[in-house]
Structure formats: C-alpha cells, structure tokens
Amino acid sequence: MKPNIKDFDLSELKELLLSSGEQRYRAEQVLRAIYIYRISSFDEIKIIPKHLRDYLTEKFKITVFRNISYQHSSDGTIKFLFHLSDGEAIESVLIPSEFVNNKKSGSRKTLCVSTQVGCTFNCAFCATGKLKFKRNLNTSEIIEQYLQAEKFIGEKITNIVFMGMGEPLLNYDNVKKAVIILLYPMFKLINSKKITISTSGFIPGIIKLADEHLPVKLALSLHATTQGLRDKLLPNCKSWKLKELFDSMEYYYRKTSTPVTYEYILFDGINDTQDDIKRLSRISKRIPSKINLIPFHTIDFTNPTGFSETLKPASGNKIHWFLRELKNKGINAFLRTSSGLDIDAACGQLALKSGLS
Ligand code: SF4
C-alpha cells in the first residue's frame, strides 16, 4: 500500500526526494501546497514540474479518510466521525469557544484530537476505555483531523488538545511528528504553546517529552488524590504510582519551565471531599500549575459495570463549592464546562456510540 504524503515531515521528504534525483527545495513546495493551499491532488501543484507531480501521484496517497460524518450540538460543538482506510473509525470534537468558569473564553476554537483507535488504559469513567485497543494512528491520520475540521468550519482552529480517543504518549513518535508539522513556522498552522498533550500518566512518555523540549503544554488526567482511588479510576495506570508521577511532572517543569495542568473530574462522593481539596492544594503548590475541574458526564450508553457503574456526577452546588474552596486556598483553579453533551462529545465520552450499541 502507498504511504501517505502527510506521514512525512519536511526533512524526511527532502531526503526522499533527493534519493529520487529531485532537488531538496521541492519538498518545501510540496508541503506548502498541502498545508497552506490545502490541495487534494498532486496535479494541483503547478509550481513543480509535471514529472514530479506524476512521481508523487504514483508513490504517495494524499487522501487520508474514506469518509467523514458530523454531528452538531445545540451549544455549537461539532463531533467528527472519521472512517479510516482500514475500516476503523475515530472521533474528534471541535469546541467553538470553551466555557471557563461559565464565561466564554474569547474566540478560541479548540479541536480535541484522537491519537489511537480505542485505548489500552480502560479508565473507569471513559467511554473510549470500553473499546478495545486496535492500533496507533499514523501522523497523517492525526493531522488530517485538524485539516478536515478547519475545512468544515471555514475558520482557523486556534488550539489543539490531544485528549480524544487514546493515550497520546503511547503513540509518542507519530504524535511528536504531527506536533512538529503543526508548528512549522512557514505553514503558520497553530501557534506555539497552543497545543496541549493530555496524558493519563504514562511516566516514560512524560520524561521523554521533557527531555525533548517539544513546545507543547502538558496536562495530567489526575482525578484522584490517593493511590487507592487512582488505582480504581485508572486501573491500567497502576504501575505508575502517584509519587513518581508528581516527580515526573516536576521533572517536566524543571526541564521546560512550562507550568502544568491537572485535570480533575468530580465524581459524587468519591473525590469531592475537604480532604481531597487539602491534598490537591499540596499537589498544585509543588510546581507552577493550574487545576481544571471537569464535571462528569455519564457513560451509561456503554452499559458500564463494576466500579464504573457507581460513578455519578457531583452536583452543580458541590462543584462550585469545590472550586471556591480551592480558590480560597490560593489555587489556580478553573471550571471547564464540557460541551456537546447532547451528542456525547463531552470529555471522556468519545466511543463511536454506534459501534457500542
Ligand atoms: S481517559 Fe484517555 S487514557 Fe483513559 S481510557 Fe479514556 S482515552 Fe484511554
């Protein structure tokens, strides 16, 4: 099967074209045509000679998805369903303007992208975790979610969060290459520091991210302040203990000087106590950081069993009390109001519903 041209970054394409007897600068022309002019066939790149257009057509694919469908939420959120060439499917979500502390946060357009088909982590609160892990996404499949979402809305996407289906740090190389392409200054796709990688706590990936200085922000899906609860909520992350996890977040901060984010879904009667506030306060003061509180949205459509079945959303009053208490302790805390509830596009709900039922 032919490789996809969007799986190659600039230096790889330069080497490839050079080995085929072409000039290296042609690689930049080709990628400019793809990422700036958004061509859909090599024949459209009139700036390169016909023999090169024919060569590219013969050697590479340019289309990534077989089919795309969309769902609109009443709050403006759009959920995309992308059918991959091998018959698998993934989802991503465009949030037109995130709501923070119940206020619209400017003209931000955030795309939540997937990095794997299914997920190995099986977190108790997550619909994706109920799907079997199939495979990592290629770089082209990651980038194409962004290109297609922008094409659909006809406007620039300002922020990207790797927080859709899958654990991004378990697909490190392809995610890294997608980030590098998205941040190429000559394409001006996304501004530096507008990309966030959200991990469930894969420590080797956090260390690698720190050592490689990828210019992204890091968020940790924390959700628990004790080891016992975290082991229940994220059972497949048991090998990475909280202590080592916080050490790795500190390592990341020391290496990159970039403050980190802790994501914290509030579950009724599970992680919403005064003791949790005290522990969160200690955690967040260790290095410059902020805490994003996320309301839980039920994943009943996955027919959860066991511990997952017991998870219920904390009430609105409880969430606001929790937020107030954190702020009173001087914590940089925010309330994220998940969008797209009516289309199951909220955080942790991506699960190709049709495939589950
Ligand atoms: S929360 Fe993230 S890591 Fe956990 S199962 Fe869902 S997609 Fe996977």
> What digits encode the pLDDT tens for the residues 71-105?
998 888 999 999 999 999 999 999 987 655 555 55
pLDDT in tens, 189-204: 999 889 999 999 999 9
Atom of ligand 1 nearest to the CA of 234: 4
pLDDT in tens, 299-310: 777 778 889 899
Measure Cα distances from 264 to 133, 223, 230, 314 in Å: 24, 4, 11, 12
Task: Specify the pTM.
Answer: 0.93
Ligand 1 pocket, Cβ-based, cut-off 6 angstroms: 119, 121-123, 126, 128-129, 165-167, 200, 348
5-59 CATH = 1.10.150.530
Rounded to whole angstroms, the Cα distance separating 309 from 328 reads: 33
pLDDT at 159 over 90: yes
Rounded to whole angstroms, the Cα distance separating 305 from 260 reads: 33
pLDDT at 341 over 70: no
Average the pLDDT over each of 33-37, 97-101, 230-234 and give the range with the smallest value. 97-101
Backbone angles phi, psi at 273, to 5 degrees: -105, 170
pLDDT in tens, 104-156: 556 889 999 999 999 999 899 998 878 889 999 999 999 999 999 999 999 99
Same fold? 5-59, 67-356: no
Per-residue pLDDT at 99 = 56
| Domain spans, the chain | 5-59, 67-356
49 falls in which pLDDT band (50, 70, 90)?
very high
Atom of ligand 1 nearest to the CA of 165: 7
- Contact status, residue 116 vs residue 132, Cβ threshold 8 Å: no
Helices (H), 213-261: 227-233, 242-256
Atom of ligand 1 nearest to the CA of 125: 1
Per-residue pLDDT at 251 = 98
Rounded to whole angstroms, the Cα distance separating 84 from 65 reads: 5
- Contact status, residue 106 vs residue 97, Cβ threshold 8 Å: yes
Beta strands across the sheet bearing 89-95: 67-72, 78-83, 89-95, 110-112, 159-162, 195-199, 217-221, 260-266, 289-295, 333-337, 99-100, 103-104
355 falls in which pLDDT band (50, 70, 90)?
very low
Per-residue pLDDT at 356 = 44
What kind of fold does domain 67-356 have according to CATH? TIM Barrel (3.20.20)
Mutate to test the pocket of ligand 1, among 167, 297, 299 (most ligand atoms within 8 A of CB): 167
357 falls in which pLDDT band (50, 70, 90)?
very low
Give me ligand 1 centre to Cα 115, in Å.
11
Q: Which residue is closest in CA terms to ligand 1's atom 4?
A: 123
Instruction: Please state, for a pLDDT cut of 90, what percent of the chain lies above it.
Output: 79
Active-site residue set:
91, 347
As a whole number, mean pLDDT of residues 338-353 equals 69
Give me ligand 1 centre to Cα 200, in Å.
7
